[in-house]
């Protein structure tokens, strides 16, 4: 139901990026086949083994994400979207156990069955580890132009609502951020770095009889500049004095 998001998330996976296209279709096809095998009593044991191997592989994938990846990507979509990766790991382990119980329910415990379960688990684990190493080799050595991006490069610490979209960044110093305003071109707004204290200052120009069209303010440390690309004049002032010459 959300296949495109699934593809994008696989493409950003630090483990399976190189195989994202194949795996995206392969996982869904495998799940549908396993679901179909559960319908018929004759193939139900095969379905349990298939589900068991799929869940073991996914559990190993999560373990690799948590312990060996450069970063932890976004979680899955659908009903599990709100789970963290650790919760996913516990969730998967529980269903791996369910799969084993299902296998033993259909086929009574014996040395042969125990060996089959162990071998199936080893195959699933080995397949995921092989995909991991091959994908990393392709991404880092063969360089197939698959690009991965950190899921949360910016974390919000503080925010302030300016109330208008006409502000622009004019500069900063050690204590304040300065904003200009296109609709009030000679008003310089200063905001403390904690975004708690907002002040507006009107800049006075030594001479203003110019045909200004688009006044712009720039702040550099304790100095500010006022200019207009349509007029061959630049004004300079020193903070906290807001008079420019």
Over residues 165-222, the pLDDT tens digits come to 999 999 998 889 999 999 999 999 999 998 989 999 999 999 888 999 899 999 998 8
pLDDT tens for each residue of 64-77:
878 877 666 655 55
pLDDT at 144: 57
The dihedral built from the CA positions of residue 130, 135, 138 and 140, taken in this order, carries a sign that is negative
DSSP 26-89: HHHHHHHHHHHHHHSGGGHHHHHHHHHHHHHHHHHHHHHHHHHSSS-----SGGGTT--HHHHH
Average pLDDT over residues 220-230: 92
């Amino acid at each position: 139901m959300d296949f495109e998001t699934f593809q994008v998330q696989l493409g950003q996976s630090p483990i399976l990026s190189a195989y994202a296209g194949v795996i995206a279709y392969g996982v869904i096809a495998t799940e549908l086949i396993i679901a179909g095998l559960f319908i018929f009593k004759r193939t139900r044991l095969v379905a349990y083994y298939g589900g068991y191997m799929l869940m073991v592989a996914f559990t190993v994938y999560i373990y690799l994400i948590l312990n060996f990846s450069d970063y932890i990507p976004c979680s899955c979509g659908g009903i599990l979207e709100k789970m963290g990766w650790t919760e996913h790991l516990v969730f998967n382990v529980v269903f791996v156990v369910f799969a084993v119980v299902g296998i033993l329910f259909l086929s009574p415990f014996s040395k042969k069955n125990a060996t089959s379960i162990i071998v199936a688990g080893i195959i699933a684990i080995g397949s995921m580890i092989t995909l991991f190493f091959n994908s990393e080799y392709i991404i880092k050595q063969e360089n197939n132009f698959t690009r991965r991006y950190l899921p949360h490069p910016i974390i919000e610490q503080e925010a302030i609502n300016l109330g208008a979209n006409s502000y622009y960044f004019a500069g900063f110093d050690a204590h304040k951020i300065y904003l200009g305003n296109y609709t009030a071109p000679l008003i310089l707004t200063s905001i403390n770095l904690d975004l708690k204290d907002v002040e507006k200052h009107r800049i006075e120009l030594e001479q203003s009889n110019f045909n200004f069209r688009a006044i712009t303010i720039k702040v550099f440390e304790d100095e500010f500049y006022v200019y207009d690309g349509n007029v061959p004049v630049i004004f300079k002032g020193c903070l906290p004095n807001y008079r420019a010459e």
